[in-house]
Amino acid sequence: MTPRTTFNYEMEELNKEITEMAHASRTAFERSVQMITDMDFSLREEVRALDKRIYQLNEQIDKHCLDIIALHSPVAGDLRLISACLKMVEDLNRFGRYATDIAELIDDFEGGKAFKRFESLRTMSCLVVGIVDDAVYSFLQRDAEKASHLHERDDAVDALYDSIFREILTYMMEDPRKITVGIDLILVARYMERVADHACNIGEYVYHMVTGERLDPKLRTGNVEQAPCGIFEHPDPRSELDLK
Amino acid sequence: MTTAIHTDDLHVYFEKNHALKGVTMDIGMNEVTSIIGPSGCGKSTFIRCINRMNDIIPGCSVKGAIMVDGADINDDDVDVVNVRRRIGMVFQKPNPFPKSIYENVAYGPRLHGVTETVDGKVRRRKHTKEELDGIVEHSLRRAALWDEVKDRLDKSGTSLSGGQQQRLCIARTLAVNPEIILFDEPCSALDPIATAKIEDLLVDLKKDYTVVIVTHSMQQAARISDKTAFFYLGDLIEMGDTKQIFERPQKELTEQYITGRMG
C-alpha cells in the first residue's frame, strides 16, 4: 500500500478544487473582457454564475487547507502547495469579483462608440487576459519560469492604465456630458489593472511553491521597454482569448 | 558553528552487512542535531559509534574517523570508559537501576570519584556526602525532575512514571558532567505530555551540552532541532538547517521521506 493514502487523496482533492477555481476565475475574467470587446451583454449571467461558484470554492478550499494542516502536518512541497492555495484563493476570488464588477458596469457605452475611441482599453484587456492566463497556467503546469516574468508585464499594464486615465480625463474635460461614461471606462481600466496585480501575486506564490525560493525583488523592477508583453502583437483580442 | 563531532568517511560493518557507507558530517557544538530516516537506515548505528557502544557487538567493525575535541575516539590509546563519560547516552526505553532515585543519580559520580591536583600531584578520591547531595540535586533540577521527586529521593527509581523515569535517566547522564548527550528515540515509549517535557528539556540542555537525537518522529525533529540529517540505506543523503530540510529539501529522496511517500 502506498504510504499516507488518506493524505494523498486529500492532496489530490485539493488540487482538483484549486484547478477548478483557477479555470473558473480565468473564464469569468475572460467573459467580462469579451463583453467589452464584443459588446455581448448576454455573457453577464455567466459571469455572475461563475463568481458565485468561485466564492463557494474559496470557502471550500480555505477549509480544506486548514483541515489538511491540522490532521496531516504537511511539510516541504506539500506545505508549499497548501500555503500557495491558501493565498491564491484570495486572488482568484478577486478575479471573480472584478469580473462581476466589470460585467455590471458595462453598458452599451453609446452603442460601443466609446470603446472604438479607446482602442488602448482593448489593448489593455488583451494584455491583462494574457497575464491572467499565464498566472493560472504557471500554477497548473508548475512553471516557475513563466511565473517569474509576470511582474515585468504588469509594469506595462500600469503604464497603459496611466495613459488611459489621462486620455479619458481629457475626453471628459472636452465634453462634460461624457463624464458618466468616462468614469465607467476609468473604473473598467482600474479593475483590469487590479486583476493584473492579483495575477502577479499568484506568480509569486507559484514561484515559491515550485522552487522553495522567494521571487527575487530585483525581478520586480522591469519597465515597459523591457517587458516581453507583446502588447501590440495581438491586435485582435480573439486571438489572445482563444474565443470561439 | 563550532564543531563538536566530526566524522570522516565512517563505515560500519556487522560482519558482511555494510550498515554505514562512508558518512562524513559535522555536528555543531551546543546545537540539537536530529537524525532521521526509515528503519534500518543506520541512524542508531551512527550514534552508537559516537560513544563506542558498537564495540560490544560481536562481528562489528568501524572504519573511518570520529573526531571529538581534536582526537579520534577510536584510537587505541583512548579510554573507552572516559569516552562514555564525556559522551552520555539515553535510550529508547527508560532503564533506571533498581535502586533509589538518589542512588540512580549518584551512581556515576560515585564510580568515577573526584580527580584533583594537590601539591602538583594528581589524585583521585571519593565524593563527600555533601558533594554527592549537590550533584544529585543539580542533576535532577537540570533534568526538570527535582520538584517532582525531592521529597521521595529514597523511593525506587522504577516506581516513577515512564516520563519521569526517562528524565531520571537524563539526570543520571548529566551527573557525570558529559559534553555530548546522545538520545536514541527517547520519547518513543512516552505519552504526548511526557514527550513535550522531554522535548523542552532537550532544547534547554543545548545551552550547556551538544545534543544528538535519533527520532522516528519527523515533527519532533522539526520542533526541537537546529540541524537535521537524513539517512537512507546506510548513506547520509542530506544534512542541513532543520527549516531548510522541512521546507525545501534539496534531494528528492529527502522530500519523499519527509512527505511520507517513502519509507
pLDDT, tens digit, 9 for 90 and up, residues A44-74:
999 999 999 999 999 999 999 999 999 888 9
- Does A8 sit within 8 Å of B248, measured CB to CB? no
- Does A213 sit within 8 Å of B248, measured CB to CB? yes
Cβ contacts below 8 Å, chain A against chain B, sum to: 37
C-alpha distance from B248 to closest chain A C-alpha (Å): 5
ipTM: 0.71
- CB of B237 within 8 Å of any CB in chain A? no
The C-alpha cell that represents B111 in the structure block: 564510580
Residues A150, A200 contacting (CB under 8 angstroms): yes
| Percent of the residues in chain A that have a pLDDT greater than 90, as a whole number | 56
Burial class of residue B189 (count of CB atoms within 10 Å of its CB; 0-12, 13-18, 19+): middle
Distance CA A131, CA B166 (A): 59
- Does B259 sit within 8 Å of A75, measured CB to CB? yes
- Does B263 sit within 8 Å of A8, measured CB to CB? no
Q: What pLDDT, on a 0 to 100 scale, did the predictor assign at position B263?
A: 64
Q: What pLDDT, on a 0 to 100 scale, did the predictor assign at position B189?
A: 83
**Which residues contact residue B167 at a Cβ distance below 8 angstroms, ignoring those fewer than 6 apart?**
B143, B144, B145, B197, B198, B201
pLDDT digits (tens, 9 = 90+) for B5-53: 999 999 999 998 999 999 999 999 999 999 999 999 999 999 999 999 9
The C-alpha cell that represents B216 in the structure block: 522516528
Interface test with A, best of B228, B259, B262 (most A CBs within 10 A): B259
Which residues, listed in sequence order, are joined to residue B122 by a DSSP beta bridge? B117
What residue in B sits closest to A83 (Cα-Cα)? B247
Interface test with A, best of B248, B252, B255 (most A CBs within 10 A): B248
Q: Look over chain A and give the mean of its residue pLDDT values, rounded to a whole number.
A: 83
pLDDT digits (tens, 9 = 90+) for B54-100: 888 999 999 999 999 889 999 989 999 999 999 999 999 999 999 99
- Does B222 sit within 8 Å of A76, measured CB to CB? no
Residue B126 per-residue DSSP state: P
pLDDT digits (tens, 9 = 90+) for B122-152: 888 899 999 999 999 999 999 999 999 999 9
Torsion-angle region of B52 (φ positive above 0: left; ψ -120 to 50: alpha; else: beta): left
Burial class of residue A128 (count of CB atoms within 10 Å of its CB; 0-12, 13-18, 19+): buried
What residue in B sits closest to A211 (Cα-Cα)? B248
- How many other CB atoms are found less than 10 A from the CB of residue B107? 15
The amino acid that residue A16 corresponds to is: K
Interface of chain A toward chain B, CB-CB under 8 angstroms = 2-4, 7-8, 73-80, 211-213
- CB of B81 within 8 Å of any CB in chain A? no
Q: What is the arithmetic mean of pLDDT over A155-165? A: 92
- Does A74 sit within 8 Å of B247, measured CB to CB? no
Q: What pLDDT, on a 0 to 100 scale, did the predictor assign at position A231?
A: 33
Q: What is the arithmetic mean of pLDDT over A209-223? A: 73
Predicted structure pTM score: 0.78
- Does B258 sit within 8 Å of A80, measured CB to CB? no
Residue B241: pLDDT band with limits 50, 70, 90: very high
First to last CA, chain B: 31
What angle is formed at CA A231 by the lines to CA A240 and CA A136, rounded to 5 degrees? 50
The C-alpha cell that represents A198 in the structure block: 492579483
- CB of B251 within 8 Å of any CB in chain A? no
How many Cα atoms are found within 13 Å in the side-chain-facing hemisphere of B122?
Answer: 2
Residue A211: pLDDT band with limits 50, 70, 90: very high
